[in-house]
Amino acid sequence: MVGCVITAADGEIIADGYHRRWGEAHAEVAALAAAGGRARGGTAIVTLEPCAHRGRTGPCCDALVAAGIAEVVFAVADPNPLAVGGAAKLAAAGVRVQRFEHAGSNELTLPFLKRISSGLPWISAKWAQSIDGAVALANGDSQWLSCSRSRRMVHRERGRVDAILTGIGTVLEDDPRLTARDGRSTRPQRRVVFDPDARTPLDSKVVDGTLPTTILVRADAEAPVVARRRRLAEAGVTVIELGVGDSIEPALRILATEGVSTVLVESGGGLVGRLIRERLLDEAWIFVAPILVADDVARRCARGLMPEVLAAIPRGRLLSVRRRGSDALLHYRWTMATPAATTLESTHMIKT
């Protein structure tokens, strides 16, 4: 996600643009197209250093120079070894270049920085809970904790990620479709199920063929598991093996090589707890409903960890608090992908 604003010499905003989707025009090219001849002598302000290489699109540096841009200001240095060097190339062409640290640009770019630096996709989890932290009653009933406006937002977010990840417990209990039904999908999607023993039923909705489905299974499986995973593969499901101890990280790395950059987790507490334990969870969207369950055995958003001291638990950054209908939406992040990001202060905003 990259944005670009072009201003005239007097600071007046001429045009803006952003990178809409992979393979299409980068933010700088989109902004230049909107500005036309007015861009000559102006300033391009970009969230990410303009690229200097030719991939699916041409180098943004060349486009900026050709358009007669006099100055480029960018917030985040490009970590991609294939695209690095844009600032130097612009300066060599006579363009004034400066870097300006900007907290919002750092946050915007973190998913890209993580993928480039670690080879892992950006992992977001979402859940709805009561004020006292219950995500479902002891019997599993959770419909509906969140309000209709919150649920519509979840469907929009499904359409903005590359994969939706859930656990086998959720598949067996709820039989979800894991599709974006309210709003348009902007990315090619797949459904991913953490299912070490290949228990996903062949008649479940995630195996209906409407979207590609991947099952993450145990590598050293016994004969019954091997037979079940073979039947799933015959039904058109892709099978990826988990790591030692059912670690999900190796499978996520494979998904990243197949074009999965962003993952939305919609599951019970077991899978969320595993992602936390493996230090893979990057952010959480938490919808807090205005109810108190007050049930000692109600289900929680994460489980499986037994920390002994609070000081050992990583603390997240609260990015925002918003109102979604009758719910409060809390947005937290944990990943510190760049040195600059570690100095970011939380922004606490109330929006209606």
Catalytic positions, please?
Answer: 28
Closest CA to 121 of 336, 319, 279, 280: 280
d(CA 92, CA 188): 39
Closest CA to 121 of 286, 267, 264: 264
Q: Please count the CA atoms within 13 angstroms of the CA of 236 that sit on its side-chain side.
A: 13
Region of 322 please: left (phi>0), alpha (psi -120 to 50) or beta. beta
d(CA 352, CA 338): 31
d(CA 352, CA 348): 13
Backbone φ and ψ for 150, nearest 5 degrees, come out as -65, -40
DSSP symbol at 1: -
DSSP symbol at 85: -
> What is the DSSP pairing of strand 317-324 with strand 327-333?
antiparallel
Dihedral sign, Cα of residue 90, residue 95, residue 101, residue 102 = negative
Angle at alpha carbon of residue 160, lines to 23 and 149, rounded to 5°: 155
